[in-house]
Amino acid sequence: DQQVKQNSPSLSVQEGRISILNCDYTNSMFDYFLWYKKYPAEGPTFLISISSIKDKNEDGRFTVFLNKSAKHLSLHIVPSQPGDSAVYFCAAIETSGSRLTFGEGTQLTVNP
């Protein structure tokens, strides 16, 4: 049962344009969501998070949007840079829980 899904295995964008990565979830008990970035041969690193009481959180070039009614969140990167090329994982956690549930990841490639 895949509770967090990232339906796009890959995304390719031009440098300077916007990258939009999407994530859907099915578990209504999830109330905190995170995005991680992963480079080859490294572990995932935290990027940005959002609580279910918000619908938007911004940090520099990165913005996460949450649509609770649709059980959907997205990560926007503006402007995209070649150094953003990595695998991006969406993750979610329940209020009472301790484990992060991850999506399958999306490989973002930003072309110069």
Chain residues binding other proteins by CB under 8 A are 4, 6, 9, 32, 34, 36, 41-46, 49, 89, 91, 93, 95, 97-105
As measured in angstroms, the least distance from the Cβ of 44 to other proteins is: 5
Please check whether residue 30 is in contact with residue 52, taking contact to mean a CB–CB distance below 8 angstroms: yes
Alpha-carbon dihedral of residues 64, 68, 73, 78, nearest 10 degrees? -30
Nearer to other proteins, 11 or 100 (CB): 100
- Hey, what are 50's tokens? 């959002």
As measured in angstroms, the least distance from the Cβ of 16 to other proteins is: 28
Nearer to other proteins, 99 or 112 (CB): 99
Please check whether residue 49 is in contact with residue 34, taking contact to mean a CB–CB distance below 8 angstroms: yes
